């Protein structure tokens, strides 16, 4: 687990710097966090429908799914490639239990029944997958979760009675209540923002709660934790369960956003995109996945125009993503956050301030 370890070693400040903020939320004293929060809240006033949904809501949804991976990889040391599969599973379950154009498949439950059902089933699915993955440790996790993701993709592709094969399920109904169409641009944006904020703060809180601290202990030294009386595997499976729930929330929002789901949504490439988002953003802190998702969505949306403008083939978007990912993995073990912090440190060093920089 060298990547998360190495990153962790320099991202966790000595206790002196972290002590004052350990009991409160670290965001409270950070003016940048307040600015970002305000901007996100008044975004509908600034951005039009396209930017609001295609950029910001999509970023937040991908960020939620990547956040679940960040939680597992950053705090648990388990790089799971099946987080998107869990999200897709939740989406499929919502489509199957809810209402859609495929009347022979969908059961037509109302959204307030279909959503908890989908969340519960996806959490169970992810927990079982996690229980399988913790049978082996370290590098094997990536292989097993990748195998689960790929198997689910091929399964949705070849199964017609449940998953409607490669056409998938279309025109999925979205919630309408209190006289509001919750899929209209502005209400949907706020729903996504609220869920994203909830997940973000839940993980922030959990990382400092006894469970999160024990999980980080398990990541750093499973044998010592076992000797101290902690049940190592139970902690890992519990981490998978929680991460599955977060990923499932993202999956539900995803299916509300596109109103359709198909094997393409759970393809291996898409599952790897989530890893890319988390790693590019940085897997040591919960804000990383959102930064990564923002970069990814911006690239995906504008790379075509940009590539054509500089005289290249516009279809080479994935090449750009792959090369960017390689560059990040080569030069910064902590993604964009790591680069930013290194830059900040080198600047403060050149200014000559003797004050120690904490990064909490």
Contact residues toward other proteins (CB under 8 A) are 1-4, 6, 79, 132, 135-136, 138-140, 142-144, 146-148, 150-151, 154-155, 158-161, 268-269, 272, 275-276, 279, 313, 315-316, 318-319, 321-323, 325-326, 329-330, 333
Q: Which is nearer to other proteins, 143 or 226 (CB)?
A: 143
80 φ, ψ to 5°? -105, 125
How far apart are the C-alpha atoms of 274 and 180, rounded to whole Å? 32
> Residues 6 or more apart from 54 whose CB is under 8 A from it?
297, 301
Give, to the nearest 10 degrees, the angle between helix 335-351 and helix 287-309: 100
> By three-state DSSP, how is residue 180 classified?
strand
How far apart are the C-alpha atoms of 213 and 209, rounded to whole Å? 6
Q: Which is nearer to other proteins, 279 or 337 (CB)?
A: 279
Q: Which is nearer to other proteins, 124 or 142 (CB)?
A: 142
Q: Which is nearer to other proteins, 80 or 257 (CB)?
A: 80
Q: Which is nearer to other proteins, 44 or 88 (CB)?
A: 88
Min CB(357)–other proteins separation in Å: 26
DSSP string, 101-131: S-TTT-----HHHHHHHHHHHHHHHHHHHHH
Min CB(152)–other proteins separation in Å: 9
Min CB(131)–other proteins separation in Å: 9
Torsion of CA 36, 39, 44, 50, to 10 degrees: -60
Min CB(108)–other proteins separation in Å: 23
Q: Which is nearer to other proteins, 30 or 158 (CB)?
A: 158
Residue for token pair 């699915």: 125
Min CB(331)–other proteins separation in Å: 11
Structure tokens at 45: 């006033």
Min CB(286)–other proteins separation in Å: 20
Min CB(139)–other proteins separation in Å: 5
CA neighbours within 13 Å on the CB side: how many for 285? 18
Q: Which is nearer to other proteins, 105 or 150 (CB)?
A: 150
Angle ∠(20,24,25) on CA atoms, nearest 5: 115
């Amino acid at each position: 687990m060298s990547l998360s370890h190495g990153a962790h070693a320099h991202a966790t400040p000595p206790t002196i710097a972290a002590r004052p903020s350990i009991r409160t939320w670290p965001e409270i004293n950070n003016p940048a966090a307040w600015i970002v929060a305000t901007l996100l809240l008044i975004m509908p006033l600034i951005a039009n429908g396209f930017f609001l949904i295609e950029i910001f809501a999509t970023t937040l949804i991908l960020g939620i799914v990547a956040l679940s991976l960040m939680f597992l990889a950053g705090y648990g040391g388990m790089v799971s490639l099946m987080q998107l599969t869990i999200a897709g599973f939740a989406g499929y379950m919502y489509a199957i239990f809810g209402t859609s154009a495929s009347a022979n498949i969908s059961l037509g439950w109302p959204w307030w029944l279909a959503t908890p059902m989908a969340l519960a089933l996806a959490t169970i699915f992810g927990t079982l997958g996690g229980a399988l993955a913790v049978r082996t440790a370290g590098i094997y996790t990536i292989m097993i979760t990748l195998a689960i993701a790929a198997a689910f993709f091929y399964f949705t592709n070849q199964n017609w009675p449940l998953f409607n094969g490669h056409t998938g399920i279309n025109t999925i109904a979205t919630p309408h209540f209190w006289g509001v169409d919750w899929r209209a641009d502005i209400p949907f944006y706020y729903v996504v923002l609220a869920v994203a904020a909830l997940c973000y703060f839940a993980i922030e809180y959990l990382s400092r709660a006894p469970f999160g601290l024990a999980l980080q202990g398990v990541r750093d030294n499973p044998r010592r934790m076992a000797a101290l009386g902690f049940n190592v595997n139970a902690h890992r499976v519990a981490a998978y369960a929680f991460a599955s729930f977060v990923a499932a929330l993202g999956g539900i929002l995803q299916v509300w956003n596109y109103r359709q789901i198909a094997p393409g949504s759970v393809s291996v490439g898409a599952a790897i995109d989530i890893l890319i988002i988390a790693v590019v953003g940085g897997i040591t802190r919960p804000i990383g996945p959102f930064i990564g998702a923002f970069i990814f969505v911006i690239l995906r949306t504008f790379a075509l125009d940009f590539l054509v403008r500089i005289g290249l083939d516009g279809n080479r978007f994935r090449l750009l993503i792959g090369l960017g990912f390689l560059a990040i993995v080569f030069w910064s073990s902590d993604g964009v956050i790591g680069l930013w912090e290194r830059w900040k440190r080198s600047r403060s060093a050149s200014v000559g301030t003797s004050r120690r920089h904490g990064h909490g």
